[in-house]
Amino acid sequence: MSFRAPFVIMGLLCLLPVLLLAWPWVREGRRVVLPFDFGRQRQGRWLRGLLGCIEMLPALLLLCIVLVLCGPLQLSEPRMKRSLTNIQFCVDVSGSMTASFGEGTRYDASMKAINDFLDYREGDAFGLTFFGNNVLHWIPLTSDISAFRCAPPFMRPEKIPYWFGGTEIGKALLACQDVLVAREEGDRMIVLISDGYSSDLSGDRDLEIAKELSGNGIIVYAVHIAEGSAPDQIVNITGLTGGEVFVPGDVEALDRVFRRIDEMQQARLEKSVAESMDFYAPFSVAGLSLLGLSLLAQFGLRYTPW
């Protein structure tokens, strides 16, 4: 336990209560001459001791008040804190994402799976990027997921400008990297959702991008939401960054993919440093107890010279 007040000031403040504690035992003036003083009465040492203790109560109460004013502190116990994960969703909005998938399109299934994924990643920060031949950061990294609920109708592949029509995954991943490296706190992850092949990953460009992402501590998970196997370039990027690529065949499989990503990328727990906390409780309880006992003593247990 420690105190906010410097020890010099604290010692000076406590000096008066300490002196008052000794006063009932050293002071004179208790004796009053009465006619029977020269008789053989008992000295009343036990009563005098009891009265002396009662007279110490105000001084003890003052001492408690002084200690409270000095600001008692104690260290809190170290707690386990959930480490933040920054997750950037990178969603393909090229024309092929309008193909049927379940009861809707590939785009509809992807956005629904993303919104379901947010529900069991509470406490993380999420961002949303749409891409085709160009990149649009639709939602910045945030822990407020309400914007994700409203996003699907605005960037449907049927409504986007014509210059978004192609698929450039390499450009999109690098753009997402710029968003994530701007956040110094927490882990970094990209969830790529696409259904096509990207020409800007050919010529070992995929290996260069994977190396750059890995160097910035970014893990890439990819969901290839189309028939057939995922392109080799996507497999290389996910593997080199510590992630994985998934090929769901239907809507239920897509839901399982996102749950699998959640299991693979579990949040880390970090032990926080102990902090100084106010420690008024014991001194307050002691002060109130002394005050109550002192008031009760005034009804009969007090020294009077008559």
pTM as predicted: 0.62
What is the per-residue pLDDT for 249? 78
What is the per-residue pLDDT for 252? 82
What is the per-residue pLDDT for 175? 95
Asked whether residue 41 carries a pLDDT value surpassing 60, the answer given is no
Q: Which residue has the higher pLDDT, 288 or 43?
A: 288
Averaged confidence pLDDT in the chain: 81
What is the per-residue pLDDT for 260? 76
Do 148 and 126 form a contact (C-beta atoms < 8 A)? Answer: yes
Write out pLDDT tens, residues 206-218. 999 999 999 999 9
**DSSP β-bridge partners for residue 74:** 277
Give the start-end residues of each E strand in the chain.
2-3, 72-75, 80-82, 85-92, 100-101, 104-105, 125-131, 135-142, 187-194, 218-224, 245-246, 269-271, 276-278
Length of the chain: 306
**DSSP β-bridge partners for residue 221:** 191
Asked whether residue 156 carries a pLDDT value surpassing 60, the answer given is yes
What is the per-residue pLDDT for 115? 85
What is the per-residue pLDDT for 261? 77
Q: Which of 25-39, 49-63, 202-216 has the highest mean pLDDT?
A: 202-216
% of the chain residues with pLDDT over 90: 21
Asked whether residue 269 carries a pLDDT value surpassing 70, the answer given is no
Where residue 306 falls among pLDDT bands split at 50, 70, 90? very low
Which whole number is the average pLDDT over 66-77? Answer: 79
Write out pLDDT tens, residues 55-64. 888 888 888 8
Measured distance between the N- and C-terminal CA atoms of the chain, rounded to whole angstroms: 46
Asked whether residue 304 carries a pLDDT value surpassing 70, the answer given is no
Burial code (b: 16+ CB inside 10 Å, e: under 16) for 106-124 equals: bbbbbbbbbeebbeebeeb
Across 72-81, 96-105, 112-121, 238-247, least confident range: 72-81
